[in-house]
Structure formats: structure tokens, C-alpha cells
């Protein structure tokens, strides 16, 4: 089944700096890659997603890039703000034994210092 | 439009007790999921249901059972709770190859 690795597990940046979180996946058939943000005590919520027919997608200060050959995708947050502080999860759609499921990475705790 | 609703929000059980976590969605989604979230472990899939009438094991199914009661509802049952099942449980639903919508979570403590 699919396996998703996420790095780093913690990330601390100064307000205004950029933050990058990277994920790798194992199943070359995976075709859907969402990113979720989870604030303390809240449910995970989608912030951006990308499909395998697209190499990059941007939404204001957030962008995601996908490299299908290397089987990795990354989340880029520019001009970080204190309200960006949260745990971020990447995920990949599983095939085979995990067909149709979303398999999540272990998360990255992002801290943005004012 | 409520989305995905889970009950209860908090629960404390004694070791060996049983309980059922309820989940309902009003978005007409085919697929429903139960995840558990533990510190440093991310979201791990317990069971899922690709459609009404079907259920399958995920990554960590031991100690749990599920029922897809109808298209809207997907329940998770702990038959004999253990301290290792202390966790935050999330139900989610989605249409094929789109985002998953999560419930607000159930914080379960087993003492």
C-alpha cells in the first residue's frame, strides 16, 4: 500500500519568512495530493490540493509543487504570519491495498515567531 | 449544511468498557473513514467504507469494529477498551478523488 513520509516534523520561522514542507510517496499510481492544516484542538481542513496532471498550483501565499518522477511534493508558504502556526499534513491517495484511501504523513508543526 | 458530525466530543472509559462513536455526513458522499490521531503519529486509518454496505480494514484495525448503517452513517465500536486506545478519533467522508471532510473529533481517554 501507499506510504507517505513528511519532513521536517517541526519548523520554526520568523514572521515574513518562507516555509517549505516536503513529502514523498511510494505508490507511483497515486494521483491526488492534498494538504491539510490543523489548528490546536480543531479538525484538519484542506488548504490546497494538486492532481498528478499538474506540476504546480498556487493560491495566494500558498503553493504546492509535484514531481511525479521523484515521487515527492512540497508545500510552500510565503510571507508567513503568526496565524499560519499550526500542524500541516500531506496526504496521497492510495492504491492497491489502500485503494481509494487518503494516507497521511505524520505532520509538521509550524511555528511562526512574530 | 452540517458536513460531518461526530458524537460524543469527549469520553472517558474504564478499561474493558465498550462504546460506539457515531458519525454522520449530509454531503451524499460515498466513502467514509475513521482515523485516530496520536502525538507524532499523524492520522492513521482504522477502517474505511468505500460505499454503503462495504467496510475494509485500514492500517490499525485491531480492537475496533465498524458498521456502515446507511449512506449517511458510519459508526466505530470499541468492544473492550484498552489504555492504548486513548486517542483523538476523526471521522471523514469524501467523494472519489476529492478532498476529505473531517468531523470535529472525539477525544477518548481510557483509564
CB contact (8 A) between residue A101 and residue B105? no
Other residues' Cβ atoms within 10 Å of the Cβ of residue B46: 24
Q: Are B109 and B89 in contact (CB under 8 A)?
A: no
- What's the DSSP call for residue B97? T
- A9 part of contact set with chain B, CB < 8 Å: yes
CB contact under 8 A, B42 and A93: no
Q: B23, B100, B101, B103: best mutation site toward chain A, by most A Cβ within 10 Å?
A: B100
The Cα angle at residue B50 between residues B59 and A46, in degrees rounded to 5 = 75
**Shortest Cα distance, chain A CAs vs residue B80, angstroms:** 26
Q: How many C-beta neighbours within 10 Å does residue A113 have?
A: 11
- For B71, other C-beta atoms within 10 Å of its C-beta total 16
Name the pLDDT band for A4 (thresholds 50, 70, 90): very high
Confidence of residue B1 (pLDDT cuts 50, 70, 90): low
Q: What is the mean pLDDT of residues A22-32?
A: 92
The answer to whether the CB atoms of B31 and A100 lie below 8 A apart is yes
**Cβ within 8 Å, pair B102-A102:** no
Express each pLDDT in B14-65 by its tens digit. Answer: 999 999 999 999 999 999 999 999 988 889 999 999 888 899 998 899 999 9
Q: How many CA atoms lie within 13 A of B94 on its CB side?
A: 19
Amino acid at each position: 500500500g501507499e506510504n507517505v513520509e513528511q519532513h521536517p516534523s517541526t519548523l520554526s520561522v520568523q514572521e515574513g519568512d518562507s516555509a517549505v514542507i516536503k513529502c514523498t510517496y511510494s505508490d507511483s499510481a497515486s494521483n491526488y495530493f492534498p494538504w491539510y492544516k490543523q489548528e490546536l484542538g480543531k479538525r484538519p481542513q484542506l488548504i490546497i490540493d494538486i492532481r498528478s496532471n499538474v506540476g504546480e498550483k498556487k493560491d495566494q501565499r500558498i503553493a504546492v509543487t509535484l514531481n511525479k518522477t521523484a515521487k515527492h511534493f512540497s508545500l510552500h508558504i510565503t510571507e508567513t504570519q503568526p496565524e499560519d502556526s499550526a500542524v500541516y499534513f500531506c496526504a496521497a491517495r492510495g492504491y492497491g491495498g489502500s485503494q481509494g484511501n487518503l494516507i497521511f504523513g505524520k505532520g509538521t508543526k509550524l511555528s511562526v515567531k512574530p | 449544511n452540517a458536513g460531518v458530525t461526530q458524537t460524543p466530543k469527549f469520553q472517558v472509559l474504564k478499561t474493558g468498557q465498550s462504546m460506539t462513536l457515531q458519525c454522520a455526513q449530509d454531503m451524499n458522499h460515498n466513502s467514509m473513514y475513521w482515523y485516530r490521531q496520536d502525538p507524532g503519529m499523524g492520522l492513521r486509518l482504522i477502517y474505511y467504507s468505500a460505499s454503503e454496505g462495504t467496510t475494509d480494514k485500514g492500517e490499525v484495525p485491531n480492537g475496533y469494529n465498524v458498521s456502515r448503517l446507511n449512506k449517511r452513517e458510519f459508526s466505530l465500536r470499541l468492544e473492550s477498551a484498552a489504555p492504548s486506545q486513548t486517542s483523538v478519533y476523526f471521522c471523514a467522508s469524501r467523494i472519489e478523488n476529492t478532498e476529505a471532510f473531517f468531523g470535529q473529533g472525539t477525544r477518548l481517554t481510557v483509564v
